[in-house]
Structure 1
Amino acid sequence: MSMETVAGRFEALEGLFFEWDGSFTWANQSQGWQIDGTVYDNGQAIQYVDLHGRGSSEEGRRLLMERLRSLFSVFGELSSLSLMRIPDRTWQDLQGFEKDVCSTNSAER
């Protein structure tokens, strides 16, 4: 998938701000969630996406996961996604990732 394709799909996500250097922010502070990231490509296709997100409350984390599902769907079928958790460098599917994020007591993850 090209950066142009991703940019076009990001436009459909209300409130997401995308820059052509690949950086983006999607947030609603009053609802308690924020996603920041960078899409990296090689000039022809997306190589990977670096994401950082936080939810400041249980409700904020729930909304964060809803937004992440919408964001991830830009890149393809949710069932085919593999996510690497940094710094422990473990691969997870979306279901495992959601379980870890939603079960944590940490406001930032």
Structure 2
Amino acid sequence: MTALPGLFFEWDGSLTWANQAGGWQIDATVFDDGTQVQYVDLHGRAATKEGCDLMNQRLNDLFDAWGDPAELRLMRLPDRRWQDLQQFAKESLSSD
């Protein structure tokens, strides 16, 4: 993850990745059991549709650092629906 420019990762498992000029920010906490990631509490915000596009691209970059993004499943809260990263990005772009 150190290869991702602008990503600030703390040893407690929290991270922030932002580009204010680009209009997006991602905050997360990674929870693990000492051997593998169990889940990630993820929050993102974008000021514009372009910022939302960039944020979704950065999410792909971030999860690509952990493995194949196509294998990821995200739970959208508060409605507790499982989604893949592509469906998550599609819905986040259409919710303007």
Interval containing the TM-score (normalised by the shorter chain): over 0.9
- Output the amino acid matched with 1:39: V
Matched ranges for 1:89-108 at <5 A: 89-105=80-96
Query: Aligned ranges for residues 22-41 of structure 1 at < 5 Å?
Result: 22-41=13-32
In the alignment of these two chains, the number of paired residues is 96
Per-residue CA deviation, residues 23-76 of structure 1 (Å, 9 max, x unaligned), is 000001111000000000112221111110011001111111110110111221
- Residues 45-56 of structure 1 mapped to structure 2, 5 A cutoff: 45-56=36-47
Relative contact order, higher structure (CA 8 A, sep 6+): 1
Match of 1:78 in 2: 69
Q: 1:67 aligns with which of 42, 54, 58?
A: 58
- TM-score for both structures, normalised by structure 2: 0.95
**Unmatched 5+ stretches in structure 2:** none
Percent identical among aligned pairs is 58
More strand by share: 2
Higher helix share: 1
- CA-based RMSD of the aligned residues comes to 0.8
Where does structure 1 differ by over 3 angstroms across 4 or more consecutive aligned residues?
none
SS at match of 2:88: helix
